[in-house]
């Protein structure tokens, strides 16, 4: 049974594409057949982050417009044979995303027995974002620990519970997961960032993970490698935890304590 | 249901159950309508205020509304308009008519259905007829006649109803609207005619509106508008008062004016005493 997961946020620049890339890669690393689709038509980035921008010949819009077959547009990842990328068109705009077309593409992917389809949503609350979330079974809502991002996530959570297919048809609601990215425990202690508790108090959505703020994310994007591939980094470990929790494993939260404190703990024999 | 003597089909014996002849009955009926009291003749000002207080959506579900112009300040035009030297004074015979067309468009945009005008000048009335609006005469009671059917006979009927004003429609119990999911930023819920109960958080930027009282068994961080149709006895109750805006029967308070420490973030109720909005802690 194929599951469709939307990665969304409302606000731009919070880490949706980084998360889509690492999350989809993480699922494929577990041996799950995964396709990640870039819904950011006109501002495509996912192919860059995935390091396949030179291999994009056809894109999502070509498939939606029935110009080519889906299999021609699917780009297979170089490292993981279970991972496929469907790029967005750079020359079109969001109006090219037609609902019937999107549904047909998703159904064809289901027929190809994908385990997971990860939809990388554009920022905003317009057509692109609505199309990306419409057929979702689960949602990763990406939030930065600051007020405007949290407010926008709140808006998106509202749309997930009212504008999606599941909401409209009155079925089981879309399962929501909160993912906090660019978390810097030191700055939280200093009062410059919202804490996990603050964010939970506002959004009241189950937390699936915390990705620490890190230089390695930038490094990964520049290299065209999903951050989860950067072995031994906090970011990679954090994304692996997210994938594990998503698949139902119980993992304690990591990277949420200020560095000073963990050093303190180490010295005094704490864990 | 306030039937009047204008029941044309009633037989002389007055047994209205006896027989119904014909395909329709023309009866005078009383309907509860929204009234839009205009306090300014400046449509630009009204439009801006409307956008600020009602917003774009509105979500009134095409409710009928009567435009009441009786409260518009009618400055004597010659005095108000400074007459420029050498320029012919314009419209000295009365105040400029209100731009009803713009007002009707504004209401339509918010899913309101204007049906009539009250307190209009003859000039405005002519404009109203052009726009398909009926004349609601002096009294705020309005016949929900088809647009354009505002003839002499209708006016007669309206008068007759006012005599029977005492016959109040027995208040049919309106079921309480219960919301059990969080109301997120940008979402709006309106409990028409009754109370609203919310069992989850009302976020910043969300709006809860009820004609009756509002009960929130969680933090209230957005806007809460109770007694939306003027019920001054409506109240707002919440487990944690953190609202951006509180209003009862049109009297409101925004977060610009910080909540007193004894209610901020605490269980509280909000109600009207006269013209004053009172915030009172609830016993815990």
* Residue-by-residue DSSP string for A13-63: SSSHHHHHHHHHHHHHHTT--EEEEE--TTS--HHHHTT-GGG--S-HHHH
User: Residue B191's pLDDT band (boundaries 50, 70, 90)?
Assistant: very high
User: Residue B171's pLDDT band (boundaries 50, 70, 90)?
Assistant: low
Show residues of chain A in contact with B184, CB under 8 Å: 154-155, 157-159, 161
Look at residue B123 in the predicted model and tell me its pLDDT: 83
Is A123:A10 a contact under the CB 8 Å cutoff? Answer: yes
Look at residue B165 in the predicted model and tell me its pLDDT: 47
- Rounded CA-CA distance A166/A174 in Å is 7
User: Residue B145's pLDDT band (boundaries 50, 70, 90)?
Assistant: very low
Look at residue B208 in the predicted model and tell me its pLDDT: 96
Task: Determine, for residues A158 and B187 on separate chains, whether the beta-carbon distance falls below 8 Å.
Answer: yes
Low-confidence ranges of chain A (pLDDT < 50): 270-271
Mean pLDDT in residue range B138-142: 48
pLDDT 10s digits, B46-76: 888 888 777 765 567 778 888 888 888 776 5
Show residues of chain A in contact with B183, CB under 8 Å: 158
Task: Determine, for residues B203 and A202 on separate chains, whether the beta-carbon distance falls below 8 Å.
Answer: yes
Show residues of chain B in contact with A162, CB under 8 Å: 187
**A94 Rama class: left (phi>0) / alpha (psi -120 to 50) / beta:** alpha
pLDDT 10s digits, B76-112: 544 444 444 444 444 445 567 788 888 888 888 888 8
Task: Look up the ipTM and state it.
Answer: 0.75
Look at residue B149 in the predicted model and tell me its pLDDT: 45
Residues B18, B22, B28, CA angle at the centre, nearest 5°?
80
**What backbone torsions phi and psi does residue B170 show, to the nearest 5 degrees?**
-60, 130
Q: Is A155 on the interface with B (CB under 8 A)?
A: yes
| E runs forming strands in A43-162 | 75-76, 83-86, 116-120, 138-143
SS3 of residue B236 by DSSP: strand
End-to-end CA separation in angstroms for chain B: 44
Task: Determine, for residues A154 and B181 on separate chains, whether the beta-carbon distance falls below 8 Å.
Answer: no
User: Residue B42's pLDDT band (boundaries 50, 70, 90)?
Assistant: confident
pLDDT 10s digits, B206-231: 999 999 999 999 999 999 999 999 99
Nearest CB to A151 within list B181, B183, B205: B205
Look at residue B38 in the predicted model and tell me its pLDDT: 84
Residues A216, A218, A220, CA angle at the centre, nearest 5°?
65
Task: Determine, for residues A202 and B187 on separate chains, whether the beta-carbon distance falls below 8 Å.
Answer: no
Q: Which position has the higher pLDDT, B131 or A159?
A: A159
Show residues of chain B in contact with A166, CB under 8 Å: none
Is B187:B167 a contact under the CB 8 Å cutoff? Answer: no
User: Residue B167's pLDDT band (boundaries 50, 70, 90)?
Assistant: low
* Residues from B in contact with A at Cβ < 8 Å: 181-187, 200-201, 203-206, 221
Look at residue B59 in the predicted model and tell me its pLDDT: 65
Interface test with B, best of A11, A126, A154 (most B CBs within 10 A): A154
Is A95:A123 a contact under the CB 8 Å cutoff? Answer: no
Residues A245, A251, A254, CA angle at the centre, nearest 5°?
110
Show residues of chain A in contact with B187, CB under 8 Å: 158, 162
Q: Which position has the higher pLDDT, B22 or B196?
A: B196
């Amino acid at each position: 049974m194929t599951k469709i997961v939307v990665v969304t946020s409302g606000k731009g620049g919070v880490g949706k594409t980084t998360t889509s890339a690492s999350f989809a890669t993480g699922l494929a690393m577990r041996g799950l057949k995964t396709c990640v689709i870039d819904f950011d038509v006109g501002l495509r980035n996912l192919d860059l982050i995935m390091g396949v921008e030179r291999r994009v010949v056809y894109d999502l819009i070509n498939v939606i417009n029935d110009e080519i077959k889906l299999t021609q547009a699917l780009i297979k990842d170089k490292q993981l044979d279970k991972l496929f990328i469907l790029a967005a068109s750079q020359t079109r705009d969001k109006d090219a995303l037609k609902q019937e077309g999107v549904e047909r593409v998703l159904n064809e992917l289901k027929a190809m027995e994908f385990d997971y389809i990860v939809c990388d949503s554009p920022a905003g609350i317009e057509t692109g974002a609505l199309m990306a979330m419409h057929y979702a079974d689960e949602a990763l809502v990406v939030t930065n620990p600051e007020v405007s991002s949290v407010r926008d996530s709140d808006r998106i959570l509202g749309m997930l519970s009212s504008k999606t297919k599941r909401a409209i048809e009155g079925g089981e609601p879309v399962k929501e997961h909160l993912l906090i990215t660019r978390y810097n425990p030191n700055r939280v202690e200093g009062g410059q960032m919202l804490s996990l508790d603050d964010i939970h108090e506002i959004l009241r959505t189950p937390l699936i993970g915390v990705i620490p703020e890190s230089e390695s994310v930038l490094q990964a994007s520049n290299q065209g490698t999903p951050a989860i591939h950067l072995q031994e980094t906090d970011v990679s470990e954090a994304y692996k935890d997210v994938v594990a929790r998503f698949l139902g494993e119980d993992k304690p939260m990591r990277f949420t304590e200020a560095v000073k404190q963990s050093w303190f703990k180490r010295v005094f024999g704490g864990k | 249901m306030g039937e009047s003597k204008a029941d044309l089909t009633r037989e002389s014996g007055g047994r209205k159950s006896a027989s119904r002849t014909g395909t329709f009955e023309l009866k005078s009926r009383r309907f509860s309508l929204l009234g839009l009291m205009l306090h300014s003749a400046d449509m630009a000002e009204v439009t801006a205020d409307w956008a600020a207080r009602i917003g774009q959506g509105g979500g009134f579900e095409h409710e009928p509304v009567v435009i009441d112009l009786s409260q518009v300040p009618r400055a004597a035009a010659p005095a108000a308009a400074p007459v420029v030297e050498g320029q012919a004074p314009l419209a000295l015979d009365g105040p400029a008519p209100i731009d009803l067309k713009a007002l009707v468009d504004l209401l339509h945009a918010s899913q309101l259905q204007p049906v009539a005008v009250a307190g209009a000048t003859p000039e405005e009335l002519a404009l109203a007829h052009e726009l398909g609006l009926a004349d609601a005469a002096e009294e705020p009671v309005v016949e929900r006649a088809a647009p354009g059917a505002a003839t002499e006979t209708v006016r007669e009927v309206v008068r007759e109803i006012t005599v029977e004003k005492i016959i109040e429609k027995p208040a049919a119990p309106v079921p309480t609207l219960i919301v059990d999911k969080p109301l997120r930023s940008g979402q709006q819920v309106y409990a028409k005619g009754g109370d609203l109960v919310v069992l989850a958080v009302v976020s910043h930027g969300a709006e809860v509106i009820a004609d009756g009282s509002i009960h929130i068994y969680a933090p209230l961080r957005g806007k809460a508008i109770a007694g939306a149709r003027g019920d001054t006895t409506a109240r707002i109750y919440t487990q944690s008062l953190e609202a951006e805006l509180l209003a009862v029967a049109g009297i409101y308070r925004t977060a610009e004016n910080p909540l007193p420490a004894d209610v901020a973030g605490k269980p509280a109720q909000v109600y009207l005493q006269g013209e004053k909005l009172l915030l009172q802690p609830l016993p815990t």
